[in-house]
Amino acid sequence: MSEAEAPVPSSARPLFPAAEAAVDPDRALVDRARAGDAGAFEMLVRRYQGWVFTLALRMWGDRGEAEDMAQEIFLKAYRGLKRFKGASRFSTWLYAIASHHCVNQLEARRRRPRPHGQAGDRRDHAKHDPPAAVDRLAHQAPHADALLERMDPARIVQAELANLTAEHRIILVLRDIQGLAYEEIAQTLRLELGTVRSRLHRARMEMRVRLTPHL
């Protein structure tokens, strides 16, 4: 993710028009939670825990880590509630927090040295050389697939998803699993619409290359 596209807290500027925020179904709970009502925030957690957990799970691939990540996301949101001015929907604000948190944590993990042979090496190459990545990964895919032959399809897809760069993975998850519209993705990740389109296309083509041997 380039510097210009780097995610920033959604509270920095309104993501959605005020008219959309006016019909925010979470408004009452948010107000109560902001006033210190932990019960109200728990209601919000129940409402969005599936969405946040799914995002974390697809980004990380491990249920335990995903649950920890989801907890951190909700804690972060709770602590940031005072800065939430209601200029956008709470859900959009929460999606932005969740997306940025996941991407930042993945980037942080990528920067940390890891034991030799772990998944992620190819992902690193792809990040630094995106145009050639798809072709190169098409040849590398069978090596990884050999290890995944005995796995069920969902695990294969999840494993290949984990080989995408964080910026490709998040956009694929937001669109093809979470079902957000292009505009919502653009606002959540604070990207231009054209950037969303092109990046989503590259992510999908890379996944097509990776998954074709299994189809």
Partner 1 sequence: MRCDEARRVFSELYDEALSGAPLVTVTQHLASCPACRAEWANFRKAMQAVADLGTAEPSPGFAARVRRRLEAPSRWRRVLRWLFLPLHVKLPIQAAAVLLLAFAGLLLYQRSPELRRAIEPSQIPSPSVAHEAPASAPPPAGGEPARKEEGPAPQAETPKATQAEPAAPPMAAVPPPTQGALEAGRERGAPSPPTGISELWKTTLPSESPRGEGSSQDSRVKSAEPGTAPGPLQQYAPAPAPSGGAGAPAQPSAKSLAVPPLAPMPSAAPAPTKEAQTSAPQAKPADVLYGTGLTELADGKFDRAVDSFRAFLARYPQDARVPDARLRLGEAYFGQGRYAEALQEYEAVAQQFPSGPQVPAALYGQAQARLALGDRSGCQLLREVADLYPQAPEAASARQDLAARCR
Number of residues counted as binding partner 1 (CB under 8 A) = 44
In degrees and rounded to multiples of 5, residue 87 shows phi and psi of -75, -15
CB of 174 to partner 1, least distance (A): 12
In the set 18, 22, 28, 38, which binds partner 1 (CB under 8 A)?
38
Under the binding rule (CB under 8 A), the answer on residue 78 touching partner 1 is yes
User: Judged by CB, which is closer to partner 1: 145, or 176?
Assistant: 176
CB of 28 to partner 1, least distance (A): 18
In the set 21, 137, 161, 166, which binds partner 1 (CB under 8 A)?
161
Under the binding rule (CB under 8 A), the answer on residue 211 touching partner 1 is yes
Under the binding rule (CB under 8 A), the answer on residue 132 touching partner 1 is no
In degrees and rounded to multiples of 5, residue 88 shows phi and psi of -130, 175
In the set 49, 110, 119, 145, which binds partner 1 (CB under 8 A)?
49
Region binding partner 1 by CB under 8 A among candidate stretches 19-27, 88-96, 135-143, 204-212: 204-212
User: Judged by CB, which is closer to partner 1: 44, or 103?
Assistant: 44
Under the binding rule (CB under 8 A), the answer on residue 145 touching partner 1 is no
Under the binding rule (CB under 8 A), the answer on residue 176 touching partner 1 is yes
Query: Is residue 164 within 8 Å of 203, Cβ to Cβ?
Result: yes
90-111 vs 121-128: helix crossing angle, rounded to 10: 110
Query: Is residue 178 within 8 Å of 56, Cβ to Cβ?
Result: no
Query: Is residue 165 within 8 Å of 110, Cβ to Cβ?
Result: no
Give me the amino acid identity at 99: S
User: Judged by CB, which is closer to partner 1: 21, or 81?
Assistant: 81
DSSP 16: S
Q: Kindly report the number of other CB atoms within 10 A of residue 174's CB atom.
A: 24
Please give the full DSSP string across 53-69, using - where no structure is assigned.
Answer: HHHHHHHH--HHHHHHH
Query: What burial class does residue 127 get, using C-beta atoms within 10 Å of its C-beta: 0-12 exposed, 13-18 middle, 19+ buried?
Result: middle
Closest-CA residue to 210 (of 151, 146, 163, 175): 163
User: Judged by CB, which is closer to partner 1: 49, or 104?
Assistant: 49
Residues lying near partner 1 in the complex (CB under 8 A): 38-39, 41-42, 45-46, 49-51, 53-54, 57-58, 63, 66-67, 70-71, 74-75, 78, 153-154, 157-158, 161, 172, 175-178, 182, 197, 200-201, 204-205, 207-208, 210-212, 214-215
